[in-house]
Chains A and B, each alone.
Chain A
Amino acid sequence: MAVARPIGIYEREELLTGCQAVAEGIRLANVDVIAAYPIRPYTEVMDAISKIIADGKLDAEYIVADSEHSQFEIVKHAASVGARAFAGSSGTGWMYGFEALVVTATDRLPVLFLVGNRALDDPGAFGVEHNDALALRDMGWLLCWVSTAQEALEHVLLGYRIAEDKRVMMPMALAMDGAFLTHSQHIVRIPSQEAVNRFLPPFQLGERRLHPDNPVSVAPQVNEDWVMEIRRQNWEAARRARGVIAKAYEEFNSVFGERYTAPYYFDEFMTDDAEVVLIGMGTVSMPARTAVRRLREQGHRVGYVNLRWFRPFPTLELRECLRRFRAVGVVDRDFAHGAPDDCGVLMHEVRSCLYPVRERPTVVNFITGLGGRDISIQDAVRMYELTQEAARKDALDGFVTWVGVRE
């Protein structure tokens, strides 16, 4: 991506893993409270932060918790007194703390969490799969996937900016593919503190903060008289978030150069005259885009859509984008056994998003890369070929193919 480099915006370049890049983001965001508990692959972010603090580069409370549940509760309550807070997890660890994640959303506390995506046990597995983070989809969280270390660092800043906006006040989960992104090293440009300060204001919880000077009661028990109105409020916040997200990217671009293009929720690659596209989240974009380049050389009109924001789902923008194509292949690095057509979670959402379009593209689904299985360029080419076939045969609409399974 061509990047303008205004002078003074970046202070240095460094070779960092995705996790270490997030840790740099945490340093630059001047986070106040961090709670750690180990589980790979996300753990490396906590390793990196503890060293940053030990080296005096960040002034923060760093707590080694006794479990994920405590870890998440600690940052939730740190946020409740007005501190900017960070935690994260992976796989079954994420699920262990899930109760705390649910209430963080309903308490509308804008903490940031890293989910280093990991397959859920049993059997104990450590490769990437998106089901851990996707479990948040109905819980009132902001949920976004990044696919490079540079994006990871930048989305820590974007994440706090969006989550802490007064109109939003929702927790933010930053998801990244375990191993492929969490642990591979890339050269990352590190912004200057001065530039970050221009983009990210200090966290203000305002009249909700728990402090003797601001006596409030947070989350009293409700009966049937209140829950529906509270849910309605939370829906409104999620709606408002859509506008706030776009504005945040615009301002990010104005400070850091043209890093992201509208509509920001997703990136399009070689889609201008495409007949067929694949859409996916996370590092599947690497083999997919390479496949697009190779297929284009052979004269195939194919493109790739990299979906970044899963919650809130960019309904209108994505609908307008995808309706232009003859066929859409949805790449799911997750499973939703027993779902309609036994499709993946993303397929379910994309199809639902496209349903109101009168002449909608044929939509097919690929379940692939589960448990950290490689998605090769050849796999991507095959998925394009199958999607092209679907563009010719309406009967294939809704067809689900497992790619990369031994059979």
Chain B
Amino acid sequence: MATAEKVLVYDRIKGVKQIPLEEFYTSGHRTCQGCESATVMRQFIKAAGPRTVVTGSTGCMYVANTSYMTTPWIVPWMHTQLGAGGSSAVGMAAGLRALMRKKRIPQEKINVISFCGDLGGGDMGLSAISGALQTDYDLLIIMYDNESAANTDIQATGLTTWGAQTTFSPVGTVQRITHRRWKKNVAAMLAVGHPNCRYVATACATFPPLDFLNKVRKALAVGGPTFIHTYDPCPKGWDFHPRYSHELGELGVRSGLLPLYEIINGEVVYTYDARKAGKGRIPVREYLSRQGRFAHLTEEDIAYIQRMVDEMWDEWEVPGVAPFRGTLKVSA
């Protein structure tokens, strides 16, 4: 675990006073009050700096952010289609590499970053991201996960937490729980399937402090195609007062529902170790009860979620990451 950390040389932000003061994603975006995904935008580009080109897939962070003919972006930014988080990054990286090699633009390191939401990246765009992670381009794909199609007024996606109310999974008079899918484990799935991808991480923009900024720095320093999955509490869709966004993220992580880890060159490093041997977990109830979208859950429902989370950390071969429970013994 520690070895991977040691060999990774990058420009680490050691304290809050070292965070660059300048913004490259600035005020004047039509995001919600307390939008945690906007914080993801702001922080990734702060960490990456101005020599960066960015694409953003359709979703909240497209539609809310840029209102024609204005923009909150200071760095070059371009819209891309919902499922094109991976392919847009490949396109830019390939174009820049070709133009530099053919000496039509100066040779330099330009960061290529694309972002997509959980619907665009985790559902529709999974194939394109997989394609991108098989290339040898330097690029970073950030999937900002607010657990819904938040731009179309909160519909369930493959990453919505089990049981949550959305406009596609309403609470009915006959059926209480209509979203019965368990949250898709996108970061780990990508890490497992793309052994040449040297950096995959999950993050929460505000917990622990500095962590996301440094994960972006690490991803860019490791090079090659890299992927970060961020957990973004959404005050609109999850239904909590905007001033508590950061707290919700922390509760989600500490309850073990949102595992925080990095996979660097195949080694797992827990950012928050929710195993009993590590920092442990708070009950999921503390996280769930603070959100209007779970207001309909019964004790039984909460117990079910708790059981699933406990299994994830106590029984999985790689806790919180890979849902294997060892190998079967081959009988003679």
Identify the A interface with B (CB < 8 A). 32-33, 35, 59-61, 63, 65-67, 69-71, 73-83, 85, 99-100, 103, 202, 210-212, 214-223, 225-226
- Residue from the list A75, A79, A103, A220 in contact with B67, Cβ < 8 A: A220
| Closest A-B pairs by Cβ, 7 of them | A77-B91, A220-B66, A66-B131, A83-B95, A78-B95, A217-B71, A70-B87
- A219: B residues at CB distance < 8 A: 78-79
Instruction: Take A211-B53, A218-B77, A220-B79 as given contacts and tell me if A80 and B91 are in contact as well, using a CB distance cutoff of 8 Å.
Output: yes
Q: Is B62 an interface residue (CB 8 A)?
A: yes
Report the bound CA distance from A61 to B71 in whole Å: 31
16 new A-B contacts, CB < 8 A, other than A32-B99, A71-B87, A83-B96, are A61-B97, A63-B90, A73-B80, A77-B87, A77-B88, A80-B91, A82-B95, A82-B105, A210-B76, A211-B76, A212-B75, A219-B78, A220-B79, A221-B62, A223-B67, A226-B69
- Chain A's closest residue to B130 (CB) is A66
The answer, among B50, B55, B97, for a CB contact under 8 Å with A77, is B55
How far, in angstroms, from A46 to B65 measured CA to CA in the complex?
38
Interchain CB contact (< 8 A) of B66 among A59, A81, A202, A221:
A221
**CB contact list, B8-34 vs A, under 8 A:** none
The CB with the most chain A CB atoms within 10 A, among B51, B52, B99, B128, is that of B99
Instruction: Say yes or no: A74-B67 contact (C-beta < 8 A), given A210-B78, A211-B105.
Output: no
Q: Give chain A residues whose Cβ lies under 8 Å from the Cβ of B51.
A: 212
Residues of A within 8 A of B88 (CB): 73-74, 76-77
Cross-chain contact A77 with B128 (CB below 8 angstroms): no
Asked whether B77 lies within 8 Å of A70 as measured between CB atoms, the reply is no
With the chains together, A154 CA to B251 CA distance in Å? 63
Q: How far is the CA of A217 from the CA of B29 in the complex (A)?
A: 13
Query: Is the beta-carbon distance between A221 and B104 smaller than 8 angstroms?
Result: no
Q: Does B66 contact A210, Cβ atoms closer than 8 Å?
A: no
State the majority secondary structure of interface residues on A.
Answer: mixed
CB <8 Å contact, B86 and A70: yes
Give the number of residues in B that approach A within 8 Å (Cβ atoms): 49
Complex CA–CA separation, A78 to B65 (angstroms): 23
Which residues of B line the A interface, CB within 8 A?
Answer: 50-53, 55, 62-71, 73-81, 83-84, 86-92, 94-99, 101-102, 104-105, 110, 127-128, 130-131, 135
The 8 Å CB contact of A83, one of B70, B89, B99, B131, is: B99
B149 to nearest A CB, angstroms? 15
Given the complex of chains A and B, what is the CA–CA distance between A81 and B88 in angstroms?
11
**A73 with B92: CB separation less than 8 A:** no
Q: B78 to A74, Cβ gap below 8 A? A: no
How far apart are B194's CB and chain A's nearest CB, in angstroms?
12
- A257 and B101 CA atoms in complex are apart in Å by 34
Q: Can you name 28 A-B residue pairings with CB atoms under 8 Å?
A: A33-B91, A33-B98, A60-B98, A63-B90, A70-B131, A74-B91, A75-B91, A76-B91, A77-B55, A77-B90, A77-B91, A77-B95, A78-B91, A78-B95, A79-B91, A210-B92, A211-B53, A211-B110, A212-B52, A212-B75, A216-B77, A217-B73, A218-B79, A221-B62, A221-B64, A221-B65, A223-B67, A225-B68
Cβ-defined partner of B104 (8 Å) among A70, A80, A82:
A82
Asked whether, in the complex, the Cβ of B95 is within 8 Å of the Cβ of A79, the reply is yes
Chain A residues lying within 8 Å of B70, measured Cβ to Cβ, are 220
Residues in A neighbouring B73, C-beta threshold 8 A: 215, 217
Q: Is the CB of B95 within 8 A of A33?
A: yes
Taken together as a complex, chains A and B put the C-alpha atoms of A65 and B128 apart, in Å, by 8
- A33–B75 Cα distance when bound, in Å, is 23
Contact of B101 among A59, A77, A80, A210 (CB under 8 A): A59
Assess whether A217 is in contact with B91, with CB atoms less than 8 Å apart.
no
CB distance from B105 to the nearest CB of A (A): 7
What are the residues of chain B within 8 A of A211 when measuring CB–CB? 53, 76, 105, 110
Assess whether B68 is in contact with A226, with CB atoms less than 8 Å apart.
Answer: yes
CB <8 Å contact, B67 and A61: no
Instruction: Return B15 CB to nearest CB of chain A, in Å.
Output: 27
Residues on B with C-beta less than 8 A from A223 are 67-68
How many angstroms from the CA of A83 to the CA of B105 in the assembled complex?
10
B134 closest partner in A (C-beta): A66
Q: Knowing A59-B102, A66-B127, A78-B92, say if A73 contacts B81 (CB, 8 Å).
A: yes
A194 CA to B134 CA in the complex, in Å?
Answer: 37
A222 to B66, CA, bound (A): 8
Q: Which residues of B contact A100 (CB under 8 A)?
A: 81, 84
Distance A63 CA – B97 CA, assembled complex (angstroms): 12
Closest to B96 in A: A81
* Chain B residue with the shortest CB-CB distance to A204: B104
B52: chain A residues within 8 A (beta carbon):
212
- Asked if A210 and B102 sit within 8 Å, CB to CB, the answer is no
Q: For B131, what are the chain A residues with a Cβ–Cβ distance below 8 Å?
A: 65-67, 70
**CB neighbours of B81 from chain A (8 A):** 69, 73, 99-100, 103
| Chain A, Cβ-Cβ closest to B50 | A212
Nearest opposing residue in chain B for A75, CB measure: B91
Residues in B with CB closer than 8 Å to A82 are 95, 99, 104-105
Set of chain A residues within 8 Å of B80, measured between Cβ atoms: 73, 77
Which residue of chain A has the shortest Cβ distance to B135 in the bound complex? Answer: A63
When the two chains form their complex, are residues A81 and B92 in contact, meaning their CB atoms are under 8 A apart?
yes
CB within 8 A of B128: which of A66, A76, A210? A66
Query: Measured between C-beta atoms, what is the minimum distance from A295 to chain B in Å?
Result: 51
